[in-house]
Structure 1
Amino acid sequence: YPLLAAPTCKTEDATDMEKILAHMIQCWSTSGAAVSVGPIWSFATDGDVTHRAAGHRLFLKAPLSEDSPLYGSLINLTGLNLFTGEGEVTLDFDFKHIFKCKSFFSQRASCLKFHAGICTLIRSPAGIVLNNGRVINSMVLLCYLVWLPAYDEEAVVKLLYPDVPQDVPRAMELMQAIIEFCKHQQHTINDSFSTDIDTHADLNSIALLSALIESILLPFIDVTMSLSDQMKSLSCYSHLAFTFFHAHRCSFMSYQLYYDIQTTVKNAFFCLAKQQCLDPHAPFFLGDDPLELLFSRTHMIGGHNSAFSYAQALDRIGAAKDIDSVFKRRPELDPGHRRLKLTQQEGVDHINRGLWKGDITAGHCDLPFSWCLGHESALAILSKSQLDPIHYSFTDLFNSGEIDMLHPFGENKYLGINTDD
């Protein structure tokens, strides 16, 4: 249901966007849509700095009420941030955008600033620090990924230095290559008597990177995972990222990227809890394929004319929804999309619930148990690292109530909201 289509010159600030979003949500409720269609559960953005700030103000206003039907389940997820907006609406970020490059224009500074996604972070010369100050960047990965049988130097270069940084399938392939590399090198990584100290240190750091990537990537692309496995994996990511950020701060990743991904994980747990209250027998799917299809069909209608006016955009969105309606009534007429086929590498960019094979019945997932299993998985990984255990003493860190996944250093301060962060 497209609710609002508005042109922008990117001069709106967070206050302007906050008013627009608040008005839209109010209209949804007053029009009766909240009753006939359903209440709004979350607001998702691609990480635009203005949207992030506005969303933060609107959807992290107050802690979850003890009277909420969600409270009994979510309060047992130690470390999870429980702040929501009115009506328990939570903030979310498109997972594909956090895997790639993001940018925004700072009017005050009159310049273009880049906030790296995971792959842009890995590909950058500055790289990422996870273990004992060891930097993993594109040059380091180029040296090691060529060890994979399926990749020669030319193929690895294409992964690390793509022509289009926004290419999601290429980003997915890079992350999967890192995961596959660590599986191939598991014996070498576990060999504590290796005489090549530098190589062993690199491999240990890449192994941590692989574990981090695997825990956030697979829940969205591994169609065999059950919902319980997905939530366990997201919990593992949340604990790993918290630890690395607590130890290395911006040397690990930017404040903005840390905030975005932790918020995405938080929203997944909140929305699943809502689904369990609404109908525990219904499936719960992580993903936004309908939005991707609407965008692609809107773009397709223009043919070779990819540019269009505001009026044309409205017409095309309406036509795209008409096409959707036809295909929903007569699915046999839908020719599909080549990128929906999992036999092709780029298929992971457009996975939908119809392709999912694992058990994703909402009521079959025990949220506190999955969160706890993710916590234990993270501890098993971190205990093999050279990090000071103080950074992953989760019980001690979270007991005060001042520190959680979005407040890694307490002081009631959210990182990544101000453009200066």
Structure 2
Amino acid sequence: MSSVLRASSLGLTPSDIEYNLNETFCSITDLLGNELAPDYILMIDEIKVEERPRLDALTGKVLGICREHGGRVALSIDSLKEIEHLVDAVDKKEVHVASECTVIAIGLLSPDKRLYAARPFVISGTCKHERSKEDTQLLQTVMQVCQQLAPKLGLGRLVCLTSDGEARRGASFSDLTLIKPIQPNSALFPLLSGLQLFNTLVGEDDLTGDKDYKHIFKRLRNLLKGSLGTFIDGVHITPAVLRLHLGDCGVAKTRIDSMLRPDDKQDVTLAAQLLRSVSSIPGPDSNAKPAYARSRRALNLLGILVDLVIKPYMDISLTLSEQLEHLSAAAHLALWLYVCLTKATRFLPIQLYGDIMIMIKNAYICFAKAKVKTPKAHFGSSYLLASRLSNATTCANILAEHPEWDRAPRRLKLRSIDSSAATITSGVDHISPGVWRGDVRVEHVHPLTTWRSGRKLLRKILPDAIATVVEDLLTTLSNSPSIDILSPFGELILSRLQDSTPAGIAPTNINYTVDSLNLLRVGVQCQDPVVSLLCCP
């Protein structure tokens, strides 16, 4: 049975959402009606669309006009006058042709690979001028309809909202998922209340927000290849510095050029390749000049952080316990870097730091929810939106009903990625729970143990001197009840986004001096001013 989704010509209405949900799940409700209803997540994203209005045969209304301002004109075409007024309003910029389309999909947390496919049910054009308050109202409407229909559709609990790192969406997520601490009467409280420096703010019914890890990877790469770069332990890491050290490690120039291409900001594979290359840079030689050794050690520190962030999502040999330990270690190390270094240097933009912590926090809370509801289950990952909306839903439903038809060509199978792999292929963009080899059984893992183990892991992988400093500061921070990974200075960092430095503008409080930076060997030519100083004999 084919699913025909109804696009929203104006603001999203509960009737549109209900219609699309019924269309999306009508052919698989019997499959969902067995035993335990699967919990679900809502995935929200924008996709670029062709800027051209069209008449929708299903509703008789014009589609392709932004929901923010489309109500200023009639979108039901009863005569030529409606078209004339619409064209005039677009010319005067009173209304806008939609440049993007907001798509919301349901992802079922089911072990059946034919059920956990993303099922889109909201399609709404936008001009991107919507304020966070309006976006919050839109998401609230969607959530309310989903929760009302969940019993009828055979669904369980809404676990989390997930999206990319857009600032407006981040503000909406904060409004919905950072309302109150996990309450003592919640089943999650015994599992998570003892985690030091962990942020326990949630929304209604312990709802959390999440950030797509692929977007995090891309934004880390964009930070490293951007002209401003980043500062680690007082060392300015620019693209030229990266080129120099990667080249010294034997990475081919063509490969470096590809990973640092300034015009390609969306390639997940290149992002993973660059981050893994940085994490693979060895320590400095004993005979290296002091400043060169310092910059190499700064890169090593950065490499440890990115390795802790990317491995839980890429290394298919990791167990669930190891995944959570890596994320805990990443959270503690990033917190230390942020608290220690941002007063004098620029480490991470506020939003990127916050989104990394939200991603880590959500992994822990979702794991705790799984431990409460399905302690014997395997803990897996969620998925991104399908791009072909109605067809994606139809295909997913057909394969759910007829699993024997699901015979993918051999050439389309994912090439495994694990800690022994020498390179990263495009398969990193399509990792699924089915290929994960590590033990991800929930029953053998406790969040408090992995959180503590992650902090101990830093003592093993960091140089002794740094490990001592990190542990001392983390101990001090742990004694302050107002400080956690999302409140490194005692105040929720996401509330400071409106006051943060705009992207692309360097903060004014950077106190960076080039003291005796004659650290690199003579004869290297470079256009970057910092590296030029480093190259002086």
Normalised to the residue count of structure 2, the TM-score between the two structures is 0.65
Query: What is the rounded CA distance, in whole Å, between the counterparts of 1:73 and 1:15 in structure 2?
Result: 33
Equivalent of 2:309 in 216, 230, 239: 216
Say if 1:339 and 1:350, in contact at 8 Å, map to a contact too.
Answer: no
For residues 392 and 24 of structure 1, what CA distance do their matches in structure 2 show? 45
Map of 1:122 onto structure 2:
224
Q: Distance in 1 between matches of 2:470 and 2:441?
A: 37
Q: Which residue of 2 aligns with 1:313?
A: none
Deviates more, 1:363-372 or 1:261-270: 363-372
Alignment of 1:11-50 (within 5 A): 11-33=129-151, 36-50=154-168
Q: CA deviation at 1:35?
A: 8.1
Say which one has the larger Rg. 2
Q: 2:177 aligns with which of 48, 55, 59?
A: 59
Tell me which amino acid in the other structure corresponds to 1:326.
I
| Aligned pairs for 1:345-356 within 5 A | 345-356=425-436
Structure 1 counterpart of 2:391: 319
Aligned to 1:72: 190
Task: Encode CA deviations 1:78-135: one digit per residue, 9 max, x unaligned.
Answer: 11100000010001111101111xxxxxxxxxxxxxxxx111111123222222x011
Counterpart AA for 2:199:
N
Higher relative contact order (CA 8 A, sep 6+): 1
Deviation per residue, 1:5-46 (Å, 9 max, x gap): 211111111110111111111111222348821111110111
Q: CA deviation at 1:154?
A: 2.1
Aligned residue among 238, 241, 248 for 1:147: 248
- In 2, distance between residues paired with 1:201 and 1:258? 24
Determine if contact 2:221/2:271 at 8 Å carries over to the other structure. yes
Q: Structure 1 CA distance, aligned partners of 2:153 and 2:395?
A: 26
- Tell me whether 1:335 sits opposite 2:409 in the alignment: yes
Query: Shift in Å at residue 201 of structure 1?
Result: 0.6
Q: Distance in 1 between matches of 2:151 and 2:139?
A: 16
Of residues 389-398 and 151-160 in structure 1, the stretch that sits farther from structure 2 once superposed is 389-398
Q: Compute the TM-score of the two structures, normalised by the length of structure 1.
A: 0.83
Gaps of 5+ in 2: 1-118, 418-423, 502-537
Matches within 5 A, 1:157-176: 157-161=257-261, 163-176=263-276
Pick the aligned partner of 1:180 from 280, 298, 316.
280
Q: Which of residues 251, 254, 274 in structure 1 aligns to 2:349? A: 254
**Larger helix fraction of residues:** 1
Cα distance in 2 between the residues matched to 1:34 and 1:419: 44
2:479 alignment counterpart: 399
Give the C-alpha shift of residue 163 in structure 1.
4.0
Q: Deviations over 1:304-324 (max 9, x none)?
A: xxxxxxxxxxxxx12221112
| Contact 1:34/1:40 (8 A) holds in 2 | no
CA contact (8 A) 2:459 2:468 kept: no
1:177-212: CA deviation from partner (whole Å, max 9, x where unpaired): 11222xxx24x46x4xx4511221111111101100
Q: Displacement of 1:392 after TM fit?
A: 5.2
Shift, 1:327, TM fit: 3.4
What residue in structure 1 maps to residue 58 of structure 2? none
In structure 2, the residue corresponding to 1:44 is in which secondary structure? strand
Q: Is the 8 A contact 1:43 1:55 kept in 2?
A: yes
Moved over 6 A (4+): none
Q: Which amino acid aligns with 1:270?
A: I
Q: Compute the displacement of 1:331 (Å).
A: 5.4
Q: Deviations over 1:127-169 (max 9, x none)?
A: 22222x01122111101112344x3122212211254121110
